[in-house]
């Protein structure tokens, strides 16, 4: 996963192409939409798929919340990504 430093916005747009094609317990994560569903359902983290913004390799993460909430959410994302298998 790679991400450019945001400049002036309240969201980040990480490239998740390295995650796509990996397997979760519920099946293969093929699209940003499927990754968003996996994160929400299994880890209670809401992200927006990149497709509405023109990318099939990104998700959108808003950070218009407290630092504590951001850290908690990113910890959950790290656990979620760690559970995916090649």
**The pLDDT value given to residue 6:** 87
Q: List the domain boundaries for the chain.
A: 11-83
Q: What is the mean pLDDT of residues 44-48?
A: 97
Query: C-alpha 65: how far from its chain's center?
Result: 16
Q: Is the pTM of this model over 0.85?
A: yes
Tokens of 46: 């809401």
* pLDDT average, residue stretch 65-85: 96
- With beta carbons less than 8 A apart as the criterion, state whether 39 and 30 touch: no
**What is the tens place of the pLDDT at every residue in 2-30?**
999 988 889 999 999 999 999 999 899 99
Q: What is the pLDDT of residue 45?
A: 97
Q: What is the CATH T-level fold of the domain 11-83, as seen in this structure? A: 3.90.1150
């Amino acid at each position: 996963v790679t991400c450019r430093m945001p400049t002036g916005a309240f969201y980040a747009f990480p490239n998740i192409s390295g995650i796509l094609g990996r397997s979760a317990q519920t099946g293969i994560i093929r699209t940003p939409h499927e990754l968003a569903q996996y994160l929400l359902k299994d880890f209670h983290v809401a992200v927006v798929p990149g497709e509405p913004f023109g990318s099939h390799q990104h998700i959108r993460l808003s950070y218009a919340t407290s630092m504590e909430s951001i850290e908690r959410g990113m910890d959950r994302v790290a656990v979620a990504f760690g559970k995916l298998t090649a």
